Structure 1
Amino acid sequence: MTRVLVSGGTGYAGRFIVEHLLERGYKVTVGGRTAPEPCFFSKDVAFVPLLLDPEADQIEAFDNVYYFVHAAFEHLPGRYRGGEGDDPDGFRRANLDGTVRLFESARDAGVRRCVFLSSRAAYGPQAAGALLEEGMLARPDTLYGEIKLQAERSLLSLCGHDFVTASLRATGIYGPAGPGRTHKWASLFEDYLSGRIVPPRIGTEVHGEDVAKAVRLMLEVDTVRINGGTFNVSDILTGNREILSILQRVTHCPHPLPEQADASGYNPMGCCKIQSLGWRPGGRYLLRRTVEQLAG
């Protein structure tokens, strides 16, 4: 049974990754500041303390680990862009320097593959309406995006025949949260059902289960097809109107829906590269099913 260490495994995205790998027979160890609560996952997982600290020697955390999935990120609760608050230096030290130290420790410990959960924010502003593709020039305009891009490049510099690496630029991850936690649209649902005005909004979204499938693909596909690569992980362009229209149908809420947001200048993400490896997201069927589930 192959052992995988998932940093940030109790986080919103990390939980999907852990659950998916458990279902597929992987032996999962969760790394983080605190151990998961009992029954947080559907099956038992091992735990090792793991910090985003560039000064910490944590190579022992990688003992007997074959794969490392790095999904941990230190930020203000509920915020990624702007998650540095009033401490940008600490934010950079943890999320860039601490991340690179973990990459180096994984390589030095003999880990065979490393997958980094990056972000759409690495692209930064692009021409209005342009399709975001992995080969285009990235120019992040936020500290969050800059750190994600620099971490990608640091991981790329470490890749080799014995240390296969890949970065996944995910965005808008949605789906049910773990036990005792609220999903990302909880406040949106509450505002709409309470009759508050909901502004128009659009964005690229992908279900957490589809992100987890992309991670597993990076662990299983032939190394020559992914090593050192960056892959977009996105599914649909949607917004508050479509999401709430599903909620409206399920709840029979009489409140009006928000206006349709203008999508003409938005930058969708191209996913041909990862789809060529066999990745298929759930599309609008999965969005509808998930909103119906969350509405219940």
Structure 2
Amino acid sequence: MHDQRKRRIAGDIVAHVFLAILAIIWIIPIVWVFLESFNKNPAPYQNTFFPTEYTFDNFVKLFTERNVLDFPRMFLNTLIIAIFVCLISLFFVLSVAYCMSRLRFRGRKGFMNVVLILGMFPGIMSVVAIYFILKAIDLTSDGFTILALILVYSAGSGVNFYVMKGFMDTIPKSLDEAAMLDGCTRLQVFTKIILPVCRPMIVYQTITGFLTPWLDFVMAKVICRTQTNYTASLGLYQMLQKEYIQSWFARFAAGAVIISIPIAILFIVTQRFYQESMAGSVKG
């Protein structure tokens, strides 16, 4: 018994040391980017790993010197796209998931199988086809680029309903039946019974719907042609090009820190909803 206890303690120590090493490896790049954003030296090469002189000028110049790279405009473009895509995709996913979970109709299983098969192919395979479709309907011109990105990101979001549907399948149908006996319509069952119970999954879909356009680079690179329509990811990419990197590298790090702020705020605001359970549903 004594030897078994020693082996258990030794195993715990090894596991904690291993996890601590992984945590340090994971956090070092984050700390480096954060410190680099305050680096007084704007060039990418220096003698020390961490900066030795610090300044807040990188953040100030990022938002004031807009004649070369207009980062505030790019940030605003990305924020507008992400908010609209988040709302539209949430509506699509909830609607499709509810129909697939609660309704029975001809072609339901076939539709789900087709969606499952299509989901096995990476989305990047359709980039060229999407671009020519948008070009054919003249949505690649300067005035419609943001609209085109919103349509592209949100158009296929309804096919990501499997996780939401799986969660809705765990909700007892007796709740629906009891509500309908009390005079509720399908819409009232959806809004007053299903949605409150699905709050944790709604939070998940909200975060996913926001992060997809917020972090995407490939689709934005294909569609956006002029700097006025660039997203933040394209702006950060431009800062690393050879004509900018010597004077913009520290501002690139500052931009990376700023990009992470809305994501952190979104997680902080929505994390409490993960604790919601069946107590959130009401009948009436």
- Shorter chain as denominator, the TM-score bin is under 0.3
Provide the TM-score with structure 1 as the length reference. Answer: 0.22
Structure (1/2) with the larger helix percentage: 2
Structure number with larger C-alpha Rg: 2
Name the structure, 1 or 2, with higher relative contact order (CA <8 Å, separation 6+). 2
Structure (1/2) with the larger strand percentage: 1
Provide the TM-score with structure 2 as the length reference. Answer: 0.22
